[in-house]
Amino acid sequence: MTEPTSFQRDIRPFFTERDIRAMSKAFNLASYEDVKAHAAAIYDRIRGVGGAVIPPPPPRGEGPWPQARIDLFARWMAEGYQP
């Protein structure tokens, strides 16, 4: 059996300092509690649902995320938002 997906180990490294600064007015992408609280909205936006895809493509950002990263975020949510 594999370990559940972890925020600190698996999800947090996906958010660059640039992403964290860009979203700081809304919530803190470096914070487990903030990302957990806003996970559904983040999941929509990394898929481009409900607005422009985040993170934005160059030159404004490093996005969009590859599908494997989006799938891992979804798995983290499905497994109960492990810290």
Q: How far apart are CA 12 and CA 31, in angstroms?
A: 8
Domain coverage including residue 25: 10-78
Q: How many domains does the chain have?
A: 1
What is the pLDDT, as a whole number, of residue 79?
97
pLDDT, tens only, 27-39: 999 999 999 999 9
Whether residue 61 has pLDDT greater than 90 = no
With beta carbons less than 8 A apart as the criterion, state whether 53 and 70 touch.
no
Residue 83 falls inside a structural domain: no
pTM for the predicted model, two decimal places:
0.92
In a domain, 40, yes or no: yes
CB 5 within 8 A of CB 67: no
Q: Within a domain: residue 65?
A: yes
Confirm whether 3 is domain-assigned: no
Count other Cβ atoms within 10 Å, centred on residue 42. Answer: 22
Q: Which residue has the higher pLDDT, 34 or 52?
A: 34
Q: What is the pLDDT of residue 1?
A: 65
What is the rounded CA–CA span in Å between residue 56 and residue 9? 23
